[in-house]
Amino acid sequence: LRWVGPGGEELERLRLDPDAFCAWSAPGNATGGLVYGHYGRPQDLAQLRARGVSAQGHLMLLRLGRGTPAQKVAAAAGAGAVGVLLYPDPQDMAGPGGGPGLRGDTAVTVHVHDGAGDPFSRGFPSFTGHAPPGPVPGVPPIPAHPISANTAMKLLRYGQDPPKS
């Protein structure tokens, strides 16, 4: 994940967990500003619109929980976002005894398919080994990637105070 300055120069490169991924995410790279969308629920996106904040052409930073990752990424796509970064807030991921269940440097693997099983063959077995033409049903059209809470907090801080080159 690269933090790029207004002139296109790389200011910092943030490390991503190479083992965490979003299964069924649309392939590709997404570039744009960053919009924090809380949990990505309809009411969260409505609050952004009410404040005059648009996701159009931007990446959305969304917390996991209170809805499926598939719903969050689809809602972000519907709001015009070009990509989504998903992070688990340790406060939302309680462990034994109510303590934090995840460390802040943990990114989790999720899937963004709205359903179960193979989205290429909903309700029937896939015999040909080839996907049918057209968009994959139940899969949002924009890329998504998981990040850690620590990386999310760094991005949020950058929004207020970008790194110095």
pLDDT, tens digit, for every residue of 93-141?
A: 766 665 666 777 888 888 887 776 666 665 556 666 565 666 666 788 9
What pLDDT score was predicted for residue 38?
Answer: 95
d(CA 7, CA 29): 19
d(CA 98, CA 162): 35
d(CA 76, CA 79): 5
Token pair in block for residue 144: 């998504």
Which of 89, 88, 63 shows the shortest CA–CA distance to 76? 63
CA 44 to chain centre: 15
At position 122, the amino acid (one-letter code) is R
* Residue ranges of domains in the chain, CATH in brackets: 18-115+135-159 (3.50.30.30)
Instruction: Give residue 24's pLDDT band: very low, low, confident or very high (50, 70, 90).
Output: confident
pLDDT, tens digit, for every residue of 38-72?
A: 999 999 999 999 999 999 999 999 999 899 999 99
At position 117, the amino acid (one-letter code) is G
